[in-house]
Copies of this chain bind each other. A is one copy, B any other.
Amino acid sequence: MTIKLYCFGESGNAYKAALTLELSGLDWEPVFVDFFHGESRSPEFRELNPMGEVPVMIDGDVTLSQSGVIQDYVSSKSGKLGGRSANERREILRWQFWDNHKMSSVAGPTRFLMNFIPEDKRPVEVIAFNQGRLNAAYKVLEGELSKRDWLVGDTITLADISCCGYLFYPEPFGFDRTEWPAIDAWLTRISDTPGWKHPYDLMPGSPADRA
């Protein structure tokens, strides 16, 4: 049975799940959620996910939200991208939590505020505060990636896919990869991985569709 992923192109969180599915080799297809017209907050969508957010994955009788859990499920099912030992698996989960806690949870709203609401409504103090938090996160990531090619072990894992979730997007949110050489080289390693796709090529919906 084909796994369905409810998603839209602009969502870095959905991208983490979509890229994990794509690189796992499992059979999957995206289902477009019209976030910019409120679909993910509609009563119908909340039947699927009371948290009112994408991504949502459906595989037979398993329905899951939260990209980290979907990643974990896809890795368990495919036997790929999940590390090679108990220690690696814990380290992967650690980076997934760190990303969700310290990076994506700040990058997502900041990118939204800087790109997807009217310019005169942008809360400049919030954006500046968030960018300060993001810089602290980039610094941690840069430091770790200066020591090794991949976050955990010697190949791409869920940890890398989680942490890169927002970093390939072209819209500005206070991240310029040329300022972070180790992150920059790592992003190139990720995009050189066979099967890799850019978020706007992997999922339906992009700013171009709404222009």
Contact = CB atoms under 8 A, between A and B. Distances in A.
Interface string A69-104: 100110000000000000100100110111011101
A71 to B, nearest CB: 10
A129 to B, nearest CB: 5
A129 B133 contact: no
Query: How many copies of this protein are present in the complex?
Result: 2
Interface of A is mostly: helix
Given A66-B97, A94-B65, A50 B123 contact: no
A83 to B, nearest CB: 13
B68 A93 contact: yes
Interface in A93-144: 93-94, 96-98, 100-102, 104-106, 109, 123, 125-126, 129, 133, 140, 143-144
16 contacts: A50-B143, A51-B102, A62-B87, A65-B94, A66-B101, A69-B94, A72-B90, A97-B100, A100-B100, A101-B101, A102-B105, A105-B105, A123-B125, A125-B126, A126-B126, A126-B129
